[in-house]
Amino acid sequence: MPKMRYAILQLDNQLEFVAMPSSYSYQLTALNQRLHKEVDKLTADHIPQLPRVIAECDDLELVGTTYTLIQGLDYLNRLEQSFAAIQEKSYPLVSLLTEIRALQAQLEQWYEEEFEA
């Protein structure tokens, strides 16, 4: 079983738990910080709300059914879809989408290699 690392994301009072391959978790945190830095510069009408990574951990056991664990690729697919839907006219949104898609592609490759073995 591959070594995973878990990102805990918060938006208002809601938490999300994202499982990432340990060698890629720092990239999710860096991407999240970059998106937060740039999201305020977007001028479109419908900007998706973006949770903040508030913590990372090596072990995570969710107790109860209140929360679910989101796989990193699923999270990135959802993130990419929400940013691709933005109708931005002023800010170069393509650079943010490029960063999202780069990590998305890396994870797709990781999953392919991991499950081929």
What is the extent of the structural domain holding 68? 4-116
C-alpha span between 19 and 10 (Å, rounded):
15
Is a pLDDT exceeding 90 seen at residue 117? no
**Is this structure's pTM higher than 0.85?**
yes
Is a pLDDT exceeding 90 seen at residue 114? no
C-alpha span between 49 and 98 (Å, rounded):
19
pLDDT digits (tens, 9 = 90+) for 44-55: 888 889 999 999
| pLDDT-above-90 percentage for the chain | 73
For residue 6, what pLDDT band results from cuts at 50, 70 and 90?
very high
Structural domain count, the chain: 1
Handedness of CA 115, 73, 63, 3 (dihedral sign): positive
